Amino acid sequence: MRFHRLFLLSATLMVALLSGCRQQIGGKGETTENPESVLSRLDTDLTYDARLWADSVLGSMSLESKCAQLFLPALYADADSYTISRLKKYAETGIGGIVLLKGSSSGASAIADSLAAFSHIAPFVSIDAEWGLAMRLADAPRFPANGMISKEVGEDLMYEYGMELARECREVGINMVLGPVIDVDSEGGFIGSRSFGMDPERVSRLAIAYGRGVAAGNVLTVAKHFPGHGSVSTDSHRTKGIISRSLVALDTIDLRPFRSWIEQRLPGIMVGHLAVPSIDPDMLPAAVSGTVITDLLRNDLGFDGLVLTDALNMEGAEGYGPEMALKAGADMIVAPADTYAGINAVKSAIEEGRIDSERLDDAVRKILIHKYLYALPRQQKEEPEETLASPEADSIALRLRDP
């Protein structure tokens, strides 16, 4: 478990109390600062500390190490000698982290510990956990797919679910969850039971509560797949999807959960390999479209968190390189077809002036800020947990099906 963030908050509060806040408690003619404003100021202080740290680290990095920080290559959660050897080589290159594929919790834990030991900057260890870690780790507690969750389930239970997932993640050293799916399903849509359903309002409520629970458990949560995969009938693993909705339908259906996510200031969003002709007439996959990422997501919707691409080794992204994603406004490249070639492509684009170096610095700064908040070294256990199972996990799984 991690206690660093709690320690920082407590320490900040103590310093504020000892040195005297802007409004001293109990002073003559002065008012007592209410708890909400104290918490808001503490959060601001923590973010300020994160920015200072990020700027300090950024200033010491070479061009190549900055480029490498953008990348999250995929590895199976199996700590065999071949995987550990690949992991060490990735870390020496300076990658930002990894995406765990199928394996076991013990394999995931060994990989997380090894990557932390190999890396100069705390790495992200991410995983697709759309319905819990069992989506990837065979021995993890099992929860129902989002579409199988009972219609009676409310926000309190979803928040509890998110907190439980965060606990399991921390046990094995995972600090980033590529989920939840906040796509709004539709008739004939490919996303199916990965979605919370066809009602944008319900999708928003359940996804936000779940995401807040994960984030409160100090794990970075990444909503996907912007700007919405629900109406797309094809699998973007095999081909580029096309969102044929009008601007009005897109705004009232697909974007509604993402707008709520952004309003709650949740940390991450993944952009899909989805062409949106109503927004981008060039029909570029959203993950490499400046119109979708910079104009819509950043400027119009006001998202200032971490933007990840969907896996660039998917056929829906074929022909589009990581340098295009960075230029479009993405901060991290998930599962590239060739990590080393990708790093070199980004580096060449910067050196040749095809991408402004400030765009790279902005992306790396965002990565480092979020690492300060979520990816600091985890506390090592003398005796690791033998299993992630718990009575709480069993109870939550049951109540998600039948509250």
370 catalytic residue (yes or no)? no
Q: Are 268 and 223 in contact (CB under 8 A)?
A: yes
| 67 sits in which H/E element | helix 63-69
Q: Are 311 and 272 in contact (CB under 8 A)?
A: no
Q: Which of 236, 100, 107 lies closest to 176 in space, CA to CA?
A: 100
Cα separation, 118 vs 105, in Å, equals 20
Q: How many alpha carbons lie under 13 Å from residue 133 in its C-beta half-sphere?
A: 36
Catalytically annotated residue among 237, 251, 280, 338: 237
Catalytically annotated residue among 78, 128, 254, 310: 310
Which letter, b or e, does each residue of 182-200 get, where b requires 16 or more Cβ atoms within 10 Å of its Cβ? bbbbbeebbbebbbbbeeb
Strand-pair partners of 177:
127, 221
Which ranges of 76-154 does DSSP label H, i.e. alpha helix?
Answer: 81-93, 105-118
Q: Are 227 and 286 in contact (CB under 8 A)?
A: yes
Tokens of 327: 């230029």
Q: Which of 252, 214, 210, 213 lies closest to 231 in space, CA to CA?
A: 252
**Sequence-separated (6 or more) residues with CB below 8 Å from residue 358:** none
Which ranges of 267-389 does DSSP label H, i.e. alpha helix?
Answer: 290, 322-328, 339-351, 357-374
310 catalytic residue (yes or no)? yes
Q: Are 202 and 230 in contact (CB under 8 A)?
A: no
Catalytic residue numbers read: 237, 310
